[in-house]
Structure formats: C-alpha cells, structure tokens
Amino acid sequence: MTKRTEISEYGEFALIDHLVKDFHAADASTFKGPGDDAAVIDVGDRYMLLSSDMLLEGIDFDLTYFPLKHLGYKAVVTGINDILAMNGIPRQVTVSIGISAKISVEQLEELYSGIRAACEEYGADLAGGDTTASVTGLAIAVSAVGTVEKDKVSYRSGAQPNDLICITGDLGAAYMGLHLLEREKRAFHGNDNPQPQFGGYEYILRRQLQPYARLDVVKELHEAGIVPTSMIDISDGLASDILQICKSSRCGARIYLEMIPIAKETNRMAAELNADPVVAALNGGGDHELLFTVPLSMRDTVARLGGVELIGHITPESTGAALVTPDGSDIQLQAQGFK
Ligand code: ADP
Ligand code: MG
C-alpha cells in the first residue's frame, strides 16, 4: 500500500522545508533560494529580488465584502511587501488570474483598476501574467521583482544579540477589521433591511481592505543610511514573524508588551468583541508592516524616523523568544502559520 501523510502532520513551514529540501541551486546567479521573503539573484552590480504570492477566494478573501478594486490593490501590496522586506525597491509585477464563471468583464476591470493604482503608487510596472479559468473561485497570483544594492540587502538571518527590534505602523488592526466584516456579514444573512454598523471603524476596515506597503519606510531607511541587520514583513502576526527572525538568525528576542503599537480603534473593536488586542497583534496577521532589527548604536537615528517603534531587543538563542508583560513576567512566544 502506498503511504499517505496528511498535510496537518507538517503545518505550513515544515511542509515547505520538506518539499524544497532536495533542491540545490545549480545556477551561479542564484544567490539565495527559498527561505526568505524574496529570492536574491546576482545580476552584476546589484541584486535582483523575486517573490511570489497567491490569493484564493474563500481562503484569502471573501468577495461578499471585499471590493474587487481593493483586492487588486492588496494583491500587489502583498507582492511588493516581500521586496521591501529585503530592503529592496519594487520594479515590476506580473499578475496571473484564475477566473470563475460568475465573474464579469466589468468586475475584472475593477480588479485591474486596483492593480493599476498599486503599480502607480509603488512605482512597479505590470510586466505580464497569465489568464485561465477556475472552477473553484477567483485566484490571483502576483510575482514581484525588485532591486537592491549588494551592501543594502536585509535577510531574515542577520539579527545579532543586543540589536533593537523595530516595527512600522501599528498591529492587530487588519485582524480586527476582518472580525468586523465577518460580524456584519453574519448580521446581513437573512436580513431584508441590513444596516452595516461601520461608523467609527474606518481605520480598521482600511487596514483590512486597503493595506499600504511601507515603501515610505524603506526609502527613509535608505536616506538615513540604515541597513537593517534583519527584516521580514509581518504577514502572520508579530509572534510568528519574530520567531522566523530568531530561527533564521539563531537568536532569541525580548519584546515588551506595552511597547507593541496598537491603534485606539483596534482596542475599541477588541473591547466590543471581548477579544484581546495583544493577541490580535501577535497572532492576527494581515498587517503588512515591516519588522526589522538595527544595531544598538542606531537607536537615536531609528527613533527619529517617522512611523517606526522600538519594541524590544535581540538576545542569545538560549533564551528563546519572550514577551515581557508590564509586571515583568515572561511569556514564551509560540509559532503560528496555517495548519
Ligand atoms: P511570505 O509569507 O513572505 O510570502 P512564505 O511564508 O509564503 O513567505 O514562504 C516562505 C519561504 O518559502 C519563501 O522563501 C518562499 O519563496 C518559499 N516557498 C513557499 N512556498 C513554496 C513552494 N511551494 N515551493 C518553493 N518555495 C516555497
Ligand atoms: Mg513575506
């Protein structure tokens, strides 16, 4: 009998490791393969960066409340964020779509108006793609290409003990926005006269439906002469992503709970839903912010940057990754990722 192993026995990250373990770069220009936010390709005087992301209807988005224009924008942001997470500048994207029978040309025009808005905003050219039919729902795959000077690339693997841990923007808002949309969708169901209650929640909705890629911060870092010792985009929540940095850099981390930036709208939504906003920040995901480390000597320079918060520091590997609560006790962080 042939062996059958369930995906759940691995989980997302172990599954990827398992699938790619027998691949070894044969081409001399492949400088870094799977394992970081983007592949790094040596094209001469600088590196080319290449990332891929796929969004599937019913898994990554719900068309009952996700406007197609925003979806197009978000798909491009997802790709571009992986280029930014290597400290690179986005240059091109390709967009491939699997179209289900219920989608019209007008709807695809909406989707592409969002793709165009993101390409214009981040200076990336649409360089190609693929179009096919889908039986299960809309699928969107984005590949992004960027470039970075060879001495400016940031990997997940360069964090050193005593480095400062920095974060852009605030966390947990996208997840709370998703909860609000799900709540209103349930209220919508079987209601002849639905009245969505979105007033006062524009911020968390925007964070879910219209995330911004932090090209502004990467440009600020370049201008300030800061090369992060490590960097990752926050896609799965702070806990999972700091653990990725710790694993790749063979280090530990201490993050101070009260320093994690959480917007007041996120706190308000969490209170209303009896949820913990810190859990949303740690495990919620979807924030599209950058997590990076800089040498301690850069403290003053990094503190002067707009939209960047210091939330902790890197420790030796033996201490693990811990969240320090206001009363001074440590909570070990746990990995997430889909199962
Ligand atoms: P991100 O969330 O930044 O898009 P992922 O967690 O999806 O990154 O992927 C982690 C790493 O594994 C990346 O370097 C990515 O290129 C690689 N990877 C993911 N899925 C596959 C796959 N099916 N085959 C090869 N490499 C993969
Ligand atoms: Mg990433």
Give Cβ neighbours of residue 75 (< 8 Å, ≥ 6 apart).
53, 55, 95, 114, 115, 118, 140, 142
Query: Each residue of 97-114: pLDDT tens digit?
Result: 999 999 999 999 999 999
Own/partner pairs for 13-20, CB < 8 Å, 24+ apart?
13/335, 13/337
The reported pLDDT for the residue numbered 132 is: 98
pLDDT mean over 283-300: 95
pLDDT mean over 9-15: 90
Pocket test for ligand 1, best of 12, 16, 22, 30 (most atoms within 8 A of CB): 16
Q: Sheet holding 289-294: strands in order across?
A: 230-234, 289-294, 164-168, 308-316, 251-256, 321-324, 330-332
pLDDT band at 161 (very low <50, low <70, confident <90, very high): very high
pLDDT band at 339 (very low <50, low <70, confident <90, very high): very low
Q: Which tops the pLDDT comparison, 304 or 193? A: 304
pLDDT mean over 250-260: 97
The reported pLDDT for the residue numbered 13 is: 87
Which DSSP symbol is given to 169?
A: S
The reported pLDDT for the residue numbered 198 is: 74
Ligand 2 centroid distance, CA of 250 (Å)? 19
Q: Is the pLDDT of residue 193 over 70?
A: no
Residues in the chain, total: 339
Look up tokens 């974060």; give the residue.
167
Q: Is the pLDDT of residue 263 over 70?
A: yes
> Which residues surround ligand 1 with Cβ inside 6 Å?
16, 19-20, 34-37, 53, 82, 235
Neighbours of 272 (CB within 10 A): 14
Mean pLDDT for all residues in the chain: 94
Q: Is the pLDDT of residue 172 over 90?
A: yes
- Say if CB 44 and CB 148 are below 8 A apart: no
The reported pLDDT for the residue numbered 97 is: 98
Q: Is the pLDDT of residue 199 over 90?
A: no
Ligand closest to 36 (CA) is 1
β-bridge pairing 139-149 and 125-133:
unpaired
d(CA 93, CA 114): 13
pLDDT mean over 59-66: 94
Q: Is the pLDDT of residue 216 over 80?
A: yes
The reported pLDDT for the residue numbered 203 is: 96
Q: Which residues are near ligand 2, the ion (C-beta closer than 5 Å)?
A: 37, 82, 233
The reported pLDDT for the residue numbered 286 is: 92
Q: Phi and psi at residue 242, in whole multiples of 5°?
A: -70, -35
d(CA 243, CA 263): 23
User: How many percent of the chain have pLDDT more than 70?
Assistant: 96
| pTM attached to this predicted model | 0.95
What SS3 state is found at 158?
A: coil
- Say if CB 316 and CB 161 are below 8 A apart: yes
The reported pLDDT for the residue numbered 335 is: 66
Closest to 81 in 3D by CA, of 243, 230, 285, 288: 288
Neighbours of 301 (CB within 10 A): 13
Ligand 1 centroid distance, CA of 13 (Å)? 8
